[in-house]
Amino acid sequence: MFEAVAFYLFAFLTIAMFFIVVTTSQALYALTALAAGMIFISAFFFILGADFLGAVQIIVYTGAVMALYAFGMMFFDTTREVKEKQGNKYIIVGLSTLAAILVVVIFAAPMMSENIVALYPAIDGVGNTQAVGLVLFTKYLIPFELAAIMLLVAMVAGIVLAGKKMDLSITLMHEAEIEEEKNKKVLS
Amino acid sequence: MEIGLNHYLVLSTILFAIGLVGVMRRKNLLLLFFATEILLNAVNVAFAAISHYYGDLTGQMFAFFVIAIAASEVAVGLGLLIVWYKRNGSIDLDALTTMKG
């Protein structure tokens, strides 16, 4: 009973938040609604007994990804209203429904066959975090290391891409210097 | 009423559909990124639910890797976005059409 109440409450909240994200015309509303939706998503992980995944969801998504987006939004002009694509609404709704049904079929097909066996069954007597660690550092060690390398590459790429001309501060330069920099950029 | 696997799969599908609508109707690249985050989260819910109802930890492992990929995608994508904004002063998708076709 308690589980059902929690599920429906958080389902409603998550859907409402994500609906705001895709419909609002203010980028800041979208950012905050997305952060709230991420936290509500982690509630499902806690209900499902995946405690470590829920904690990672809060730390990585709401802590790191959202902070990164908030940092990135400082670069962009986000105060103005966001224009939207004026497409055929029926095509969009139809394609979305079709894709969603496709996802359900993909997920439901193995269940219909009813012969799924647990490859790495949950271990009795240990908590979720410990069980995750046991599987992650034995069966999934190579993907784990590859993910680490991928994150390193992404970090270097982010620094290289965003860090260009970071030593120049437009607020501390005179108008003439800024114009000079602009001309230099055009010429190069 | 008992909450089963189907409840979670239906919820995941609804969230995925919301994300798809966002991907298709957004013009601003930053908000398009938000929509892709919704897609990834919807799939994560399905993974965690399947992992719970089948007593198998593989679903949670995949969810972890999805989170890692999402984090690196944001880092690289935001870097590219900043470079593009510095160069063009706009992150609308319409500004990306530079080729005459």
Q: Which of residues 74-113 of A touch B (CB under 8 A)?
A: 75-76, 78, 82-85, 87, 92-93, 95-97, 99-101, 103-104, 107-108, 111
**Least Cα separation, residue B28 to chain A (angstroms):** 7
Q: Mean pLDDT across the stretch B59-80?
A: 90
Q: Mean pLDDT across the stretch A155-163?
A: 84
pLDDT of residue B42: 92
- Burial B59-73, CB ≥16 within 10 A → b, else e: bbbbbbbebbebbbb
Q: Is B47 exposed, middle or buried (0-12, 13-18, 19+ CB in 10 A)?
A: buried
Query: Which tens digits make up the pLDDT trace of B15-33?
Result: 988 888 888 888 888 888 9
Asked if residue A155 is part of any domain, the answer here is yes
* Band of pLDDT at residue A132, cut at 50, 70 and 90: confident
Q: Which residues contact A144 (CB under 8 A, 6 or more apart)?
A: A136, A137
Q: Which domains does chain B have, with CATH numbers?
A: 28-89 (1.10.287.3510)
Residue numbers of the domain that contains A174: 140-188
Number of domains in chain A: 1
Query: Which tens digits make up the pLDDT trace of A40-83?
Result: 999 999 998 888 999 999 999 888 888 888 888 877 766 666 66
Measured from the Cβ of residue B20, the count of other Cβ atoms closer than 10 Å reads 24
pLDDT of residue A72: 80
Asked if residue A7 is part of any domain, the answer here is no
Asked if residue A146 is part of any domain, the answer here is yes
The reply to whether residue B44 touches residue A57, judged by beta carbons under 8 angstroms, is yes
Q: Which residues contact A68 (CB under 8 A, 6 or more apart)?
A: B74, B75, B78
Which of A44, A104, A135 comes nearest B48 by C-beta?
A: A44
The reply to whether residue B17 touches residue A96, judged by beta carbons under 8 angstroms, is yes
Given a contact cutoff of 8 angstroms between Cβ atoms, the answer to whether A37 and A45 are in contact is no
Query: Which tens digits make up the pLDDT trace of A34-51?
Result: 999 999 999 999 998 888
Give SS3 for A84. strand
Asked if residue A167 is part of any domain, the answer here is yes
Given a contact cutoff of 8 angstroms between Cβ atoms, the answer to whether A65 and B30 are in contact is no
B55 at the A interface (CB within 8 A)? yes
- Burial A66-103, CB ≥16 within 10 A → b, else e: bebbeebbeebebeeebeeeeeeeeebeeebeebbeeb
**Least Cα separation, residue A133 to chain B (angstroms):** 10
Report CA torsion sign: B77, B32, B9, A127: positive
